[in-house]
Amino acid sequence: MRSARLSVKLGITVTAMCAVLVLVMATFALASIWRQLDIQAKDGLEEKLSQVEHSLAEGSSSIADIVLHPHNLRDQIIGHDNLTLTIMDSSIPRKRLLRLGEGEGEGDEVEQPVPKINTSALEFKEINSAEGFETLMAYKLIRLKNDQQILVILTLDRRSDYTLLKAYVKSTLIALPLILLLVGGCAWWVVHRGLKPLRAFRRVAESISARDLSHRMKVQGLPEELSDLAHAVNFMLHRLDGDVQQLAQFSDDLAHELRSPMNNLMGTAQVTLSRERPPHEYKQVLESCTEELERLSRMVSQMLFLASVSQPSAPLTFSSVDLQDEAYKVSELFAIAAEEKKMSVEVSGEGKVLGDKLMIQRAISNLLSNAIRHGSPGSIVTLGLSTLADEVILAVSNVGEGIEAEHLPRLFDRFYRVHPSRSRQQGGAGLGLAIVRSIMSLHEGRVTARSELGRITTFSLIFPKAT
């Protein structure tokens, strides 16, 4: 089943929310209209009842005057088809004296219920008419000039109010589908337009391949949320492009590094087999081939170790490592190599870090091996430890020819050599410093290099302080 488009889903969601909101607002408006109509009805009845009371106070001295001369009261009701004025005497049960307005002259029985009232305060009561409409009744006890009491009842037929509310509800129900269609269409259009950058994301994603990672998202004009996403995608593509290029460069360098010893082995073997030779020459060729194979074996081992450090198969469990102890251990391993060049190794300072002991030993060994190999005979190689506020530094320094400034940024690249021919003669594969950088990256640290030609060269392992 094909999933619905996001624009359609959002449009339907917005339409549903709008429908609920419109219904709530319509209900609130209906309640507000009814409340205002109720207030107006009570205010109208109160005002009209005050006019009736004024007419009775000025023109009627007794009940007889009211019955015989009702024209003043009739003038108050004329023009108000929805009003009914009823006057009752003070006897129990009360008898109707006069009825004016709607239903006038329809017998002597009172159609509306007679309220029980004991005070002269104005009171209201809601009753239902025979037609099912609500009727509002206002009643009050009034004392005439001759001290007689009468009950004045003013009734308002609210049929017109119900008609108004019915028309409002009907018009709302008719307009609601049109409003929802309009809102749904506008919501779909707005969402469809808002999702336009996502289609650009799709086009970029469709264009990306391992051979072409040059495509980037346009960041200008995007909303903040999509702008952050575009930056993240561009950064991801930038890293992938760098990694792919690095992998391609690594493959080229690896093929070049393997091709040279393979060609040497093949050339030596072909020349040796081209004619018969005495046994001692075969022995010399085999020894030469064995040395070349050992160099290949070291290169393969270093590449495997570099791969395991760069992409560990499982998270490593770090423990506390005393760098001073490890520096002494490594310096003892290289004591003989240093003596051959009449060099000495000195360790100073102290520091502890969290890490993998074997990997840290490997990093120190690679730096110390390079320092002894490239150091001046008779000089001193120092392993200095220092602890700062948030870092622990192990610096390996030697005195020698030094390294030109243009080579320093690339020293830690795989297979990079400052002097390629001399490095091959010394057995180097150009992977030692790359391994050091990967080990430090795994420990969330870094390695730096600085050098002065003809003077001191220093490689520093910078660890985060153990916490």
SS (H, E, C) 272-322: HHCCCCCHHHHHHHHHHHHHHHHHHHHHHHHHHHHHHHHCCCCCCCCEEEE
Q: Which of 174, 217, 167, 181 is nearest to 197 (CA)?
A: 217
In the chain, how long is the greatest CA-to-CA distance? 163
**Residue 385: strand, helix, or coil:** strand
Dist. CA 172–CA 161, nearest whole Å: 17
Per DSSP, 394 falls in state E
Residue with tokens 């003077």: 455
Dist. CA 267–CA 278, nearest whole Å: 19
**Residue 96: strand, helix, or coil:** strand
pLDDT of residue 55: 80
**Residue 103: strand, helix, or coil:** coil
pLDDT of residue 311: 63
Q: How many CB atoms lie within 10 A of CB 223?
A: 10
pLDDT of residue 462: 92
pLDDT of residue 420: 56
pLDDT of residue 383: 92
pLDDT of residue 91: 75
pLDDT of residue 396: 92
Domain over 316-464 is classified CATH 3.30.565.10: yes
pLDDT of residue 252: 67
Render each residue's pLDDT in the chain as its tens digit; 467 residues.
Answer: 455 676 777 778 888 888 888 888 988 988 998 899 888 888 888 888 888 888 887 777 678 877 777 777 787 777 777 888 888 887 777 788 888 876 554 444 434 556 666 666 788 888 876 666 778 888 888 888 787 888 888 888 888 888 888 898 888 888 888 888 888 888 878 877 777 777 777 777 777 776 777 777 777 777 776 777 788 888 888 888 777 776 776 676 667 667 767 777 788 888 888 888 888 887 888 888 887 787 777 777 767 776 666 666 566 778 889 999 999 998 888 888 888 888 999 999 988 999 888 889 988 988 998 899 888 888 889 999 998 888 999 999 998 888 888 888 888 877 776 665 554 445 455 678 888 888 888 888 999 998 888 888 999 999 998 76
> Domain spanning 6-165: which CATH class is it, in words?
alpha beta
pLDDT of residue 312: 64
Question: Which residue spans within 227-351 are E strands per DSSP?
Answer: 319-322, 344-348
pLDDT of residue 103: 54
* Conformational region of residue 320, where left means phi above 0, alpha means psi within -120 to 50, and beta covers everything else: beta
pLDDT of residue 1: 44
Predicted TM-score (pTM) of this structure: 0.50
Dist. CA 418–CA 433, nearest whole Å: 12
Torsion of CA 360, 366, 369, 372, to 10 degrees: -90
